Amino acid sequence: AHVPVICVDGPTASGKGTLASELASRLGYHYLDSGALYRITAFAAVRAGLALDVAHEHSIAKMAETLPVRFTGGQVLLGELDVTDAIRTEEAGMNASRVSALPAVRTALVALQQSFRRLPGLVADGRDMGTVIFPDAPLKVYLTASAVQRAERRHKQLISKGISAKLADLRADLEARDLRDSSRQVAPLKPAEDALLLDNSGQSIEESVAQVVQWWERKQ
């Protein structure tokens, strides 16, 4: 049977993860957080003592290909190691962005990402879900929000986890990451030609979810 996929792509801290996981639970679909795979790959590479650059592209790609990763009950496991919190830091995000610019690493993660496509359906979030990983997806959403809003959301998130951070630093960080993600040679961050654009700057999560559910129902 053909398994439906909804892609949610967009820049850092645009609210993709929240929207996509909420959508998945609403529809009873599986959920793929593709960014987590890049974060885990970077984490594993750093742990193995590898610098995150082209000199180690193939070693890092090899690790990515056989990544012993499991997502269970809100936890992310790398082998026996619980990396749930470790992969969520700003540094982990920046490291993920570094390894994600290496073409061999991206290729190594394709099959793993596509294996999440199972019945009754999948909601996948990332940067290239609609352009590269699931080009035949019947619904592709490209989510944006202003840099100010995104920095504020990230700030709130960190504060709620008891991590302190400066708003200006966060904004500079996410702009640097967006620039790297959208200027890389392979699978740069950009909307798929057939993506529907959603700017959630002034929207509540509930409103964005409702909008996408409506788009999805219209496709049925």
| Residue 15 known to bind ligand | yes
Binders of ligand C5P among residues 75 to 94 (CB under 6 A) are 93
* Alpha carbons 32 and 105: distance in angstroms, whole number: 18
Q: Identify the residue among 8, 30, 39, 137 touching ligand C5P (CB under 6 A).
A: 39
Given a contact cutoff of 8 angstroms between Cβ atoms, the answer to whether 78 and 69 are in contact is yes
Instruction: Give the nearer residue to ligand C5P in terms of CB position, either 38 or 43.
Output: 38
User: Read out DSSP for 172-208?
Assistant: HHHHHHHHHHHH-SSS-S---TTPEEEE-TT--HHHH
| Residue 62 known to bind ligand | no
Q: How far is the CB of 38 from ligand C5P (least distance, A)?
A: 4
User: Read out DSSP for 92-130?
Assistant: HHHHHHHHHT-HHHHHHTHHHHHTT--TT-EEEEESSII
Instruction: Give the nearer residue to ligand C5P in terms of CB position, either 150 or 209.
Output: 150
Given a contact cutoff of 8 angstroms between Cβ atoms, the answer to whether 212 and 198 are in contact is yes
* Alpha carbons 41 and 73: distance in angstroms, whole number: 20
Q: Is 121 left (phi over 0), alpha (psi -120 to 50) or beta?
A: left
| Residue 66 known to bind ligand | no
* Alpha carbons 143 and 145: distance in angstroms, whole number: 7
Q: Identify the residue among 30, 56, 127, 171 touching ligand C5P (CB under 6 A).
A: 127
Q: How far is the CB of 29 from ligand C5P (least distance, A)?
A: 18
Q: How far is the CB of 188 from ligand C5P (least distance, A)?
A: 9
Q: Identify the residue among 14, 18, 34, 208 touching ligand C5P (CB under 6 A).
A: 34
| Residue 10 known to bind ligand | yes
| Residue 182 known to bind ligand | no
Binders of ligand C5P among residues 172 to 201 (CB under 6 A) are 177, 181
* Alpha carbons 69 and 41: distance in angstroms, whole number: 10
* Alpha carbons 86 and 45: distance in angstroms, whole number: 13
| Residue 14 known to bind ligand | yes
Q: Identify the residue among 14, 41, 97, 149 touching ligand C5P (CB under 6 A).
A: 97
Return binding residues: 10-18
- Name the site residues for ligand C5P (rule: CB under 6 A): 12, 34-35, 38-39, 93, 96-97, 100, 126-128, 177, 181
Return binding residues for ATP: 10-18
